[in-house]
Amino acid sequence: MESNEEDFVFYGTPIEREEDTSSRKRKVIAAAGNLRSLPAWKQEVTDEEGRRRFHGAFTGGFSAGYYNTAGSKEGWRPQTFTSSRKNRAEVNKQSIYNFLDEDDIKDMGGQPLETSLKFDTFGFTATEVARKQAERELKNRSSTIPGPVPDELVVPASSSIGAKLLLKMGWRRGHSIKETQATSLHDARREARKALLAFSVNDGGKSLSHTEINQSDTGDSTGKENESTFSSQSTPSFVLNPKLDLYGLGYDPFKHAPEFQERKMLHESRSNLGVKRSVLMKGGHLPQNSGKYAPGFGIGALEELDVEDEDIYTSDLGLLGTEIEEDEPSRIITIDDKLTLEGTKKGLLGFKVASSSDYTLKRFQPPTIPPDYKPVHKFTSPLETMETFLEQPPPEVPPPEDGNSRLLIEGFANLVARCGRLFEDLSKEKNKSNPLFSFLIGGSGHGYYARKLWEAKSRRSDQGKTVSVEPAISDQRMTAGTRGKILGERPLERSSNESPKSANTTPVVHFQSNLSDTFTNSAALADSSECPKPFKEDPPKQTRFELFLKEKYQGGLRTTSYSGADKLSEAERARERLDFESAAETITKEKWNKKDGLQTIRQNIEFSRYGDEHFVSGLTHGSSQDDVKLADKILPKREEFQWRPSPLLCKRFDIVDPFMGKPPPAPRPRSKMEALAFTTDSIMDAKNEAIITGNQKSSSSAANKDSSANSISEAQGDMKLAAEQPNTDPSTSVARPVDLYKAIFSDDSDDDGDDELNFSSEVEPEKASKGANTTLNRLIAGDFLESLGKELGLEVPEAPSFLDKANSTRLASSTHVKPAPALETEHLNDKEARLHESRIPETAGAGSPIKACNSRARTASIFSGDHIRDADKKERKHSRKHRSRSSNRRSGSETDSSSGRGYHDRSRSEKKASESKREHKKRVEKHEKRKKSGSCSRYSSYGSDSEDDGRRIGKSGDRRRHSSGSKSGGGRKHR
């Protein structure tokens, strides 16, 4: 048989047996290990039986169900009917698992599906669960720390930042964010309602039903009223305004003609309920939406054909005395409507019924427009509320004893004031028999009513005026200007070409009595036209000066851009400010002294230019009273500037910094002056001097660019100004570090060493690049001076307490930087020189151990550095003086001879001093060169920066223990 079998020919594919499938399955499982290594296109997707899930398009594509059929192994069979008569109670409840297949359930990983209370965007539930767990653990844990310890000192945030912000702003949960409008309108309404209630209490159920009706069908207005009353609630209590009309949802036929709304409602309610009078009354007491809308009456374009409309026109409208003239287009439509509707009468509003079935269109001539037609509404009688009140106020009458009637009278008066005399007439007619309303006819309480009515009317007419202004403002977005207007600030005037001064202005010193005064009033100097013009030669400068005066003595809104001075450099601007400052001060003083100030102002400016004189020396020195007055003159100001979020804030909120990569804002020019303004006079002067010297250097060197020393000093001046600004861009300061040791003691730039940190990077670009590597080798020259002062036993200005604000400390330390006025420095110089002389031999001949030598050498070097600085300063001053004198000559004004003499004397002595110091310096340099290798590294560790004003805190803090610390020697010199 076996041989026979070979003779068989097989057609088709053999039917696979069950065993074969299982073997295939096994194979597939075995292959699964290898499968992973196969490329994607060779891999095969199988179900758990090992059958292929996806087939080629010709072999069935995706296989699903039972061999791609809806049937089963037994074939397809419809569900058999089973009677539910017996197993009735069996309700098969659907669960979520009915809708999940095996894969889904597997994906859930055994976790049951649950609903959560919160929408868990930011891990609310996670934190909640964590907290609960912590609480549970807490119970189990035994704690030996006495008392239950606060397990949750840090409570995880449970609300979003937005909610937190809102809460901080006063919002409460469950409330809407809309603000409540507590207006007079609202008050009047409330009063009216009160009156009505009182009325209804007395009048029994009938009028109660009136009010109820009123409230139920007041439509939009009531809705609005309620809205404003309950606007603080975000959840509406119930819908007060059922939709009664047949318009589409949200369609408001009166959208653009709100004045007709009331009319419509009136008509509607009457036709629906037949309550004529109450509606009228309601129409009367209904508040207007705003002052703009007069309590007008009208109907919509589509209403005209209603039968009752005729009624209204004849009775009510006539009664109200208004007349309505329709716009032309609407008339056309209505006539058209009329024609089509006349036959059928039952057609839907707005729909035409075809008149004939054969669709022959009938054309009609357009209606002829009456010749006297005017396409505007005209109200024959002006509204009473808008009338001006010319009546004499009725006499004051004591209110009636009866509280109810008093309330009624007051409320009624309010109503009448709002709705017009018509209302009064109406109610008079209606309540003829009602004893409560006897006051209308002239019974008891009529006098009181008249008075109240007058009061309400006058109040209303006042309101009408304001109301007419307000919407215009609120329509547009509030700008700074309008806000300022509301606040009563006077906007900055750009053009200042006012009429020249009026000489006989009495000098009035304004002391601020109230805030609005501070914003609007200007002090004695405010009017720039009144002040003398110290900068007549330079008109733009004069305008800037006037602007400056305004800024100084006049509150108000201003932008930070220092207008007009944009093209000036920072240094020039600062110098100009100081000029202005001194000029302004002189002017004020002059005014107080009732003198013509122009000459002295000039002098003063010259003085301030020299910078080594106290700039008010030519005048009666400001007494303490003056200071007080000056201090009083500081007015509150508001200014606009660009706010930029700090980078960290952006990171925290995970937003891109909108200002990333953009240059930092220009330092606000006012900041310095503010700082100055708050200092006492002496400090201010000292600082002024300091800045002026810096400025003068720069300006003078701008004139003579040839001298290298000047260019350096210019850079210093600039840098110093930059250093004065708090929080200048820190990156620049990082990028421009300096080897201070070199900066001070190297030969090529021996001119360095101003009071502040010396950035010579601008002068020496190659150094700047070097400096980038030797990062942050910074040094406070102020520290040097300070330690010097300590060692000399000189008086160092007392620093404020350590915890003081940075501001004050900065000021204090700035005085410290320039502690002594010019005359004193001379003494100091001599003293220093002597001390120095005595010290140097010691140092030079140091045979002591290196450490001691080092320390002493350092002191010496500090000394010498200081001397050099002093000497250089003198030199600079010298050259500057020359230059400024020459410039003075150029400008044509004469130099103050006395100061010139003084200068000569001094310069001689200075020269001597500086020469001796220069010798000194050379010696020290030699010494330093020897030491350089040893001490260089140490200097590098004394990095500091001069820019951050906050630094002074640290310094002043150190100062406390400095007395002990500085004596402790080389180990820690500055700290």
Partner 1 sequence: MSITELDDSMVHSMAVGAAFTDYGGSITSLDFHRTEDLLVTASEDDSVRLYSIVDATLLKTMYHKKHGTDRICFTHHPSSIICSSRYNLETTNESLRYLSMYDNRCLRYFKGHKKRVVSLCMSPIDDSFMSGSIDHSVRIWDLRVNACQGILRLRGRPTVAYDQQGLVFAVAMEGGAIKLFDSRSYDKGPFDTFLVGGDTAEVCDIKFSNDGKSMLLSTTSNNVYILDAYCGDKRCGFSLEPSPSLTTEATFTPDGKYVISGSGDGTLHAWNVYMRNEVACWNSYIGSTACLKWAPRRAMFAAASTALTFWIPNHSKLNDSAGAED
Binding region for partner 1 (CB under 8 A)? 141-154, 646-649, 651-652, 654, 657, 660, 727, 730-731, 733-734, 737, 775-780, 802-803, 806, 941-948, 950-955, 957-958, 960-961, 971-972, 974-975
How far is residue 426 from each of residues 404, 526, 596, measured CA to CA in Å? 21, 60, 74
Residues in the chain: 975
* Type of residue numbered 855: S
Phi, psi of 382 (to 5 degrees): -65, 150
Min dist. Cβ of residue 940 to partner 1 (A): 9
Tokens linked to 681: 């006079």
Looking at the Cβ atoms of 637 and 974, the one nearer to partner 1 is: 974
Min dist. Cβ of residue 800 to partner 1 (A): 13
Min dist. Cβ of residue 145 to partner 1 (A): 5
CB atoms within 10 A of CB 564: 15
The DSSP letter of residue 316 is: I
Min dist. Cβ of residue 967 to partner 1 (A): 14
Looking at the Cβ atoms of 799 and 924, the one nearer to partner 1 is: 799
The rounded distance, in Å, linking the Cα atoms of 882 and 904 is: 11
Looking at the Cβ atoms of 227 and 657, the one nearer to partner 1 is: 657
The rounded distance, in Å, linking the Cα atoms of 797 and 682 is: 12
Min dist. Cβ of residue 941 to partner 1 (A): 7
Looking at the Cβ atoms of 154 and 307, the one nearer to partner 1 is: 154
The rounded distance, in Å, linking the Cα atoms of 517 and 511 is: 9
Tokens linked to 828: 């100091």
**Cβ contacts of 322 within 8 Å, gap of 6 or more:** 296, 297, 379, 380, 381
| Ramachandran quadrant class, 556 (left: phi over 0; alpha: psi -120 to 50; beta: rest) | left
Instruction: Pinpoint the alpha helices (H) of 746-792.
Output: 765-773, 781-792
Min dist. Cβ of residue 722 to partner 1 (A): 13
Looking at the Cβ atoms of 773 and 897, the one nearer to partner 1 is: 773
The rounded distance, in Å, linking the Cα atoms of 590 and 531 is: 10
Min dist. Cβ of residue 873 to partner 1 (A): 24
Min dist. Cβ of residue 131 to partner 1 (A): 11
Element (H, E) at 640: strand 638-640
Looking at the Cβ atoms of 169 and 803, the one nearer to partner 1 is: 803
CB atoms within 10 A of CB 841: 10
Looking at the Cβ atoms of 134 and 509, the one nearer to partner 1 is: 134
Looking at the Cβ atoms of 799 and 857, the one nearer to partner 1 is: 799
The rounded distance, in Å, linking the Cα atoms of 969 and 164 is: 55
**Nearest in space to 300 (alpha carbons), one of 352, 375, 342, 247:** 247
Residue that the structure tokens 């009602």 belong to: 434
CA atoms within 13 A on the CB side of 331: 14
Tokens linked to 75: 């074939």
CB atoms within 10 A of CB 643: 7
Packing angle, helices 822-844 and 850-891, rounded to 10:
150
Looking at the Cβ atoms of 861 and 944, the one nearer to partner 1 is: 944
Tokens linked to 483: 């806000």
Min dist. Cβ of residue 776 to partner 1 (A): 3
Looking at the Cβ atoms of 147 and 204, the one nearer to partner 1 is: 147
Looking at the Cβ atoms of 11 and 653, the one nearer to partner 1 is: 653
Min dist. Cβ of residue 702 to partner 1 (A): 30
Looking at the Cβ atoms of 427 and 946, the one nearer to partner 1 is: 946
Min dist. Cβ of residue 798 to partner 1 (A): 16
Min dist. Cβ of residue 951 to partner 1 (A): 3
- Pair 524, 507: CB distance under 8 Å: yes
The rounded distance, in Å, linking the Cα atoms of 472 and 462 is: 17
